[in-house]
Chains A and B, each alone.
Chain A
Amino acid sequence: MADAAPSTTPSTGPSSSGLLPRTHPLDVRPDLTEQTAGAVVAKPLTTAVQVRAELPGPAADAAARVLGVALPARPGTWVATPAGGRVVWLGPDEWLVLDPTTTPWDLEPRLREALAPAGGAAVDVSAQRVVLELSGPLARDLLAAGCAVDTHPSVFPAGRAAQTLLAQAGVVLLALSDDGRHYELLVRSSFARYLADWLVDAATEHRARRA
């Protein structure tokens, strides 16, 4: 299995850690993509910073200057940053910044130094969540097996986000495309193995059909 990597080096499994020198919780599920009929891919660990700011306000303006994009004001949405990351609406004064191109020790201080004097806050939560990518024709079927949110592209197109429950596990669901075939699923690290197992189970019928 993938957790055989030497302890002195970052893990090198298929779902491995990217910029963050840490073992990926799903390194123990190297066959996740295969077992979900190609629908689920565990993404490399991603830098994540939680931002608190009043919107509109000087702290939100400061965050926008650092990120290069305004914090999304509309509930249940996310926006892309010029750096290749995402800013996800989590609450009327709370956002999650995801950026796979940088490290927490770079992004968190930059945001905090800009936000703190203006009354905002930025906290590194990179260890909190794991990102799963759902794609293809099965993506919505798998979600529908355990999630009540309407993911039809007419109401959940690219740019929409939802914090909800998937198979009783708290997740953040991001729609990446307008065709209902591309989503990202953010799940807490401690729930990642459970959710991966659940997704494999939900994909059983599709796996059998494909075989």
Chain B
Amino acid sequence: MQMIRCPWCGPREEVEFHYGGQAHVPYPAEPAALSDEEWAHYVFFRDNTRGAFAERWSHSAGCRRWFNALRDTVSYRFLAVYRPGDPRPVLDQTPTAGASS
């Protein structure tokens, strides 16, 4: 089973975690000014990245904290985990390197 590293608890089995979708989706600065279509884009539309993808995860069976992770969507490898509020880490490697297409 894949181990995911919680920023607080350390490596744990993936069944302890829940996926929370794309990270760093900013709340609209002026919500009242948005059209229905713009709301729909904010609420439903997400990137579908091939390679490194910043996601929200919750350690739901452990400390129950949310954190962000950079995951390679090709290899499912976790490239980095970081706490909420921290900036997205910059990777010094090609994310999909070594992953078979």
Measuring CB to CB, which residues of chain A are less than 8 angstroms from any residue of chain B? Answer: 75-76, 90-92, 94, 148-149, 162-165, 170
Contacts and interface: CB of A to CB of B under 8 A. Distances in A.
B10 A91 contact: no
B65 interface: yes
Interface residues of B, number: 13
B61 interface: yes
Contacts of B63: 75, 90-92, 94, 163
A92 B8 contact: yes
Interface of B: 1, 8-10, 12-13, 15-16, 61-65
Nearest to A75: B8
Given A92-B65, A164-B62, A75 B12 contact: no
Given A91-B64, A170-B61, A148 B13 contact: yes
B61 A163 contact: yes
Nearest 10 CB-CB pairs, A to B? Answer: A75-B8, A148-B13, A91-B63, A163-B62, A165-B61, A170-B61, A91-B65, A76-B9, A75-B9, A165-B16
25 contacts: A75-B8, A75-B9, A75-B10, A75-B63, A76-B8, A90-B63, A91-B64, A91-B65, A92-B8, A94-B63, A148-B1, A148-B12, A148-B13, A162-B9, A162-B62, A163-B9, A163-B61, A163-B62, A163-B63, A164-B12, A164-B61, A164-B62, A165-B13, A165-B16, A165-B61
Contact of B15 (A75, A76, A91, A165): A165
A162 B64 CA distance: 12
Contacts of A90: 63
Contacts of A92: 8, 63, 65
Nearest to A169: B61
A163 B8 CA distance: 11
B12 A91 contact: no
B58 to A, nearest CB: 12
Given A92-B8, A148-B13, A170-B61, 14 more contacts: A75-B8, A75-B9, A90-B63, A91-B65, A92-B63, A94-B63, A162-B62, A163-B63, A164-B61, A164-B62, A165-B13, A165-B15, A165-B16, A165-B61
Nearest to A170: B61
A199 to B, nearest CB: 19
A166 to B, nearest CB: 10
A91 B63 CA distance: 5
A55 B85 CA distance: 17
Contacts of A165: 13, 15-16, 61
A186 to B, nearest CB: 14
Contacts of B65: 91-92
Nearest to B62: A163
A165 B15 CA distance: 9
